[in-house]
Amino acid sequence: MTRLSHDHAVGPVGHLTEVAGAVVEVIESCHTMWHFDHEKSAFCRVAKAGPAPDLTDEGLWHPFERLEVDEETGSFAVVLDPAGMRRLRSWQHVDPCRLCGAGRDASTGELELTSPRRTS
Ligand SMILES: [Zn+2]
């Protein structure tokens, strides 16, 4: 039996999801989920810590010119104007993450949970 083990992680850049019928690319950085609607050239930043906003609210979306991804370093830039002068730069969060250390901490925590120590 062969199962696809990466059903929603397509490629090194982001994964695709659907918002109100539109296909949206999602790139995860350490603290933010970046949503890109390439058809409308609009993007939306969602903080991972806060409550999930209603992405069908068009007020949350901002226009962008293009998305530049450096697959080697995992950095990406959202270019906001045609000349490329205004851009937002971030880095993809991977697991384990060398930027925020998330994956390592999580796996350590899991190990401790599966081998509980009696303290009394
Ligand atoms: Zn991270």
- List the 75-79 sheet strands across, edge first: 66-70, 75-79, 87-91
CA of 80 to the centre of ligand 1 (A): 24
Kindly calculate the radius of gyration of the chain based on its CA atoms and give it in whole angstroms.
18
CA of 69 to the centre of ligand 1 (A): 17
Q: Is residue 74 part of a domain?
A: yes
CA of 2 to the centre of ligand 1 (A): 31
CA of 44 to the centre of ligand 1 (A): 19
What is the extent of the structural domain holding 106?
15-114
Taking a C-beta distance cutoff of 8 angstroms, is the pair 79, 68 a contact? yes
pLDDT in tens, 35-86: 999 999 999 999 999 898 999 999 999 999 999 999 888 899 999 999 999 9
CA of 78 to the centre of ligand 1 (A): 18
Tokens of 9: 């992680």
pTM of the model: 0.74
Q: Is residue 25 part of a domain?
A: yes
Q: Is residue 1 part of a domain?
A: no
Residue 116 CB coordination number (10 Å): 7
Q: Is residue 7 part of a domain?
A: no
Q: Is residue 50 part of a domain?
A: yes
